[in-house]
Amino acid sequence: MDFSYVDLGRALERVAFVAAILTALLAALAVVARDRRLVAAARNTLIGGGVAILGAAGALVGAFFEGAYGIDYVFHYSERKVSAQYKLAGLWAGLDGSILLWAMILGVIGAALAWSFRKRGLDPSGRRLEPYVYVVFACVQVFFLAVICLQADPFAPINPDVVAGLSDLQGRAARGPYLWDGIPRDGKGLNPLLENYWMTIHPPSVYLGFILYTVPFAFGMAALAAGEFSSYWIRTTRRWTMVAWLFNTTGIVLGGLWAYEVLGWGGYWAWDPVENASFLPWLTGTAFLHSVMIQERRDMLRVWNALLIAMTFVLSIFGTYLTRSGIVSSVHAFAGGEIGQWFLAFLLLLIAASVFLLFFRMRDLRSANSIDSLLSREGVFLLNNMVLVAIAVAIVLLTLWPKISNEFLKNPITLGVPVYNRVCVPFFLLLFFLTALGPSTAWVRTSVSRFLRNLLVPAILAIAATVATLWVSFVKIRGGDAEQPLTPLDHVYPTGVLTFLGWWIVLSLAWEFVRTVAATGRATGRDPVTAALRVVVGNNRRWGGYVVHAGLAIMGIGIASSTMYATEHQNVPLVPQKPVRIGPYEYEVTAQREAVPVSAYLSTKLDVTVRSLAAGGGPDAVVGHMAPEYRFYPATAYRQQAQPQSEVAILHRPGEDLYLYFEKPGPNGFPRTAEGLPIFGFTIFRKPLILLVWGGWIVMLAGGLFAAAPLGRRKVGLAA
Amino acid sequence: MSKSVRLAVPFLLIFGGLAGLVAMGVAQGGVPEAQVHQIVAGEFPDREVKVHGFLAAIESAERPLRFSVVDKENPELRIPVVCDRTRPDTFQETYDVAVQGRWDPEAKHFVADQIFSKCPSKYEAESKAGQTMPQLASDVGVGQPE
């Protein structure tokens, strides 16, 4: 059975590879011969290739569900006991499968793009660009499919050393048999840390974000190659870019949620190279989403926009290169190897091609218009672009610094979280400041008095809201300095400044909305609700974008409080039925079960009752129950070493999270009291206002979807 | 002021500020990376350093953690490490590990403030790519460490 999956999967991979090469060739010929029949043929091969690679991915998923452990990849990333969702997640759990997933998503997007061109081809600009787009898109496909077919084949048969090892073990008459017709009877299994529901959502989100940027990149490069200087490509790819950006954002946030809920250090962002890899295209993608509005509105920044989308796509590939080359050490990069060289070569080729096309068309791309005043919508957008790109440049430099310092200075230096914060936080604050100013500016030029008037009221309200937020967060929730002291500066920078800017953004937008609705009401004679609906639906792109800003601001307020006002107590011993007081809460282990077999592991699970001391700490003061768990995955014939793992328990309280991390016991198990009771060790965190971090993301998502929706009078809207 | 100068000023301020912050951050917050043999040779006396190697000889898997880090090139060379941190999930012998801290010449061990163990995906991939399952467990169902 195994080898039918191998044959099917490999055949489909090769079909997709050939289809991608054919697409590129046919489209290139169509450009030269100006023959629409060749364009139609390229369109069909693009669709066909997408279907083929989808089939190949389906074959690998089938192999996972079938338990085809004769396939090396399946053996390493799955096992019989694992549930269906993690069998599916095996597709992207390892390097080879993740590249197949990338190629599969790229294939499906390519097919969707080709399908959409069946109509769009009627537009003269679209007809002109279509074959060029196919050439660029298919070249990207050729790269990924070449990697799969020639370097990282997820259908490769099981490594003979593994079979030999299992055969040897079987010969020593342990509990086998471990082999069946020379094929392992079970798989090694996903690492337990990956058996988490975020594993099923987070990686595909990140990949979708990265891969969807291929569409605007292909259009941008096609426009340069074809000499098509209208804003057609910008308008056509707006929704693609918005959706890519939303997935990119979602991937980043879900990665943070995963870290928060699984890794047990109480945080969600650690400036790891892999985290940085997903953040870099987000920064330039955000800059691109803003600067294209300037091109649409004022026909400016054509070179900059082409450069930005090229940077965004290159950074997506750079991120993939970072995680697959071993160039920098990261806690969750894949192993290095030859595949890194493939990505490096592709990266250099992309940069060379993009730079060549930009220089080739530089003269034609110059715009007659220019920015008249920095105090204008386009002026603020440009400054926002500079800041976003500056942050991206800083992160690239800091991420590569260990490598740069090792290779060129012969003095390898590692940079920790404080260095990243010291460099990036001032720029984030500047970005928030510009975001607050944006809605109060007008295109071309803004009246200074009107600008100040528009910002003044929200600023005064924001000061009041900041004082209230910090008071609630620090005094009411954290309980002031009682647990762990802070310096006065901690309240100001960055906490106070970030909270103020967050509120200023939210309140400026609210103020702008109120004024716009009032003006519309006056002009149309409608009641406020109808006027508000008319305003929002009439220009969903603008108001959806503003909601995204509000979401980002809310997230910023959450980050400020949850980071600076967090408390942490390490190695807190909890003995059953003996309450322990930490801060304003009392924790007591009220029930326990030790080493109970569950699925592939032994589970020690506790019921920790939490009581509020402010409410007296008695039976009536119970605020919730937490269920921390310690899992022990024993070594098996297939899994080389036993693995202990702690499952975090989180209690969401109004205003804060209580967070318990189960300390793993030593080889002798949990220590005991003189009475023989187990002593369970915990790290206990409190994270004020952390829900605002995740809530801000939901708001961003809602705003982004609304902005991308095909509503309103201006389907290709102008952010006036 | 001409339009191009008006644009150049914020550009220079933003990217100049960036260059300054990066230079300052690297100069003040950078920690040298080292291999075990460099620590053994006394190359970083009384200085914070991040040491890479393989995890070995776990003496205590409870806080404070006590283990050794073996040199990647010369397995004969190793340093004892003490680390009062939570044990990472992927804290197992032979795994790639990095510890950040200082060498204590009197106690003759490395006092680590931070321990970095690798993420499962990396471990799985390396195990698969290279020395696949060099030692199989002697039997299935190794029990709870009790």
pLDDT band at A1 (very low <50, low <70, confident <90, very high): very low
Rounded Cα gap, residues A438 and B117, in angstroms = 44
For A390, the closest chain B residue by CA position comes to B15
Contact A309, A250 (CB under 8 A): no
Q: How many Å apart are CA A650 and CA B131, to the nearest integer?
A: 39
> Contact A317/A217 with Cβ under 8 angstroms?
no
Nearest residue in chain A measured CA to CA from B86: A663
- Where does the pLDDT of residue B133 fall: very low under 50, low under 70, confident under 90, or very high at 90 and above? very low
Question: In 10 A of CB A232, how many CB atoms?
Answer: 18
- Region of A665 on the Ramachandran plot (φ > 0 left; ψ -120 to 50 alpha; else beta): beta
pLDDT grade for A446, boundaries at 50, 70 and 90: confident
Determine whether the interchain pair A640/B89 forms a contact, defined as Cβ–Cβ distance below 8 Å.
no
**Cβ(A690)–Cβ(A659) under 8 Å?**
no
CA-CA distance, A613 to A46, in Å (whole number)? Answer: 65
pLDDT tens digits, A462-500: 999 999 999 999 998 998 888 888 888 888 989 999 999
Q: Which of A379, A436, A323 is nearest to A95 (CA)?
A: A323
Unique residue bearing structure tokens 């930009």: A358
C-alpha angle A543/A545/A547, rounded to 5°? 70
- Is there a contact between A114 and A47 (Cβ–Cβ < 8 Å)? yes
Domain ranges of chain B: 33-129
Query: Residue B112 gets which letter from DSSP?
Result: E
pLDDT tens digit sequence for B94-113:
778 889 999 998 888 999 99
What per-residue confidence (pLDDT) applies to A527? 92
Q: Does A192 sit behind a cis peptide bond, omega within 30 degrees of 0 on the bond before it?
A: no
The rounded distance, in Å, linking the Cα atoms of A358 and A353 is 9
Burial class of A464 by CB neighbour count within 10 A (0 to 12, 13 to 18, 19+): exposed
Residue A621: DSSP 8-state: G
Residue in A365, A350, A248 with CA at minimum distance from that of residue A306:
A365
Sequence-separated contacts (24+) of A117-123 with Cβ below 8 Å: A117/A43, A118/A43, A120/A236, A121/A39, A123/A232
Residue to substitute from A96, A191, A258, interface B, most B β-carbons within 10 A:
A191
Q: Determine the pLDDT at residue A420.
A: 95
pLDDT, position A120: 57
Position with higher pLDDT, A634 vs A337: A634
**What spatial distance separates the first Cα and last Cα of chain B, rounded to whole Å?**
77
Cβ-contact A40, A128 below 8 angstroms: no
Residues within 8 A of A (CB atoms), B 70-129 only: 86-87, 89-90, 92-93, 98, 100, 116-129
**B124 — pLDDT class (breaks 50, 70, 90):** very low
Size of interface A-B (CB pairs under 8 A): 225
Q: Rounding to the nearest 10 degrees, give the CA dihedral for residues B34, B38, B40, B41.
A: -150
Of the partner residues B34, B92, B137, the one whose CB lies closest to the CB of residue A636: B137
Which pLDDT belongs to residue B73?
Answer: 87
Give the closest of B89, B122, B140 to A335, CB-based: B122
CATH topology of domain B33-129: OB fold (Dihydrolipoamide Acetyltransferase, E2P) (2.40.50)
What integer pLDDT is reported at residue B93 of this predicted model?
72
pLDDT at B42 over 90: no
ipTM, two decimals, is 0.81
Residue A152: its chain B contacts at CB < 8 A? none
The DSSP call for residue A231 is S
Q: Shortest Cα distance from B20 to chain A (angstroms)? A: 9
Among A336, A323, A72, which residue's Cα sits nearest to residue B96?
A336
Residue A551 has what pLDDT?
98
Q: Which residues of A touch B60 (CB under 8 A)?
A: 666
Strand partners, A658: A651, A686
The DSSP code sequence of A176-227 is ---EETTEESS-----GGG-SHHHHHHHHHHHHHHHHTHHHHHHHHHHHHHT
Under DSSP, is residue B37 helix (H, G, I), strand (E, B) or coil? helix
State the Cα–Cα distance between residues A427 and A312, nearest whole angstrom. Answer: 19
d(C-alpha A390, C-alpha A383), whole Å: 10
Cα separation, B61 vs A430, whole angstroms:
45
pLDDT score of A329: 62
Specify the amino acid at residue A78.
S
A422, B14: Cβ pair inside 8 Å?
A: no
CA distances from A546 to A452, A543, A560, A701 (A): 19, 5, 21, 12
Hey, how many other C-beta atoms are within 10 angstroms of the C-beta on A197? 13
CA A138 to chain centroid, in Å, comes to 25
Tokens of A97: 């499968």
Q: Is the pLDDT of residue A22 over 90?
A: yes
Section A703-718 average pLDDT: 72
Portion of chain A with pLDDT greater than 90, in percent: 62
- Of the listed ranges A427-436, A553-562, A644-653, A694-703, the least confidently predicted one is A644-653
pLDDT confidence tier of residue A401, bands split at 50, 70 and 90: very high
Token pair for A340 = 């890194």
Q: Per residue in A629-644, is it b (16+ CB within 10 Å) or e — as a string? A: bbbbbbbbbbbbbbbb
Instruction: Check CB contact under 8 Å for B89 and A193.
Output: yes
pLDDT band at A431 (very low <50, low <70, confident <90, very high): very high
pLDDT over 50 at A577, yes or no:
yes
pLDDT of residue A174: 54
Q: Cβ separation of B145 and A667 shorter than 8 Å?
A: yes
Token pair recorded at residue A423: 């460099």
What confidence tens digit (pLDDT) does each residue in A193-238 have?
A: 777 788 788 889 999 999 999 999 999 999 999 998 888 899 889 9
What is the pLDDT, as a whole number, of residue B126? Answer: 41
Give the tens place of pLDDT for each residue, A301-325: 888 999 999 999 999 999 888 877 7
pLDDT, mean over chain A: 89
The DSSP annotation for A243-256 comes to HHHHHHHHHHHHHH
The pLDDT tens digits for A86-108 are 899 999 888 899 999 999 999 99
pLDDT band at A132 (very low <50, low <70, confident <90, very high): very high
What's the Cα-to-Cα distance from A30 to each of A229, A661, B94, rounded to whole Å?
A: 20, 61, 56
- What tokens appear for A242 in the block? 């918005």
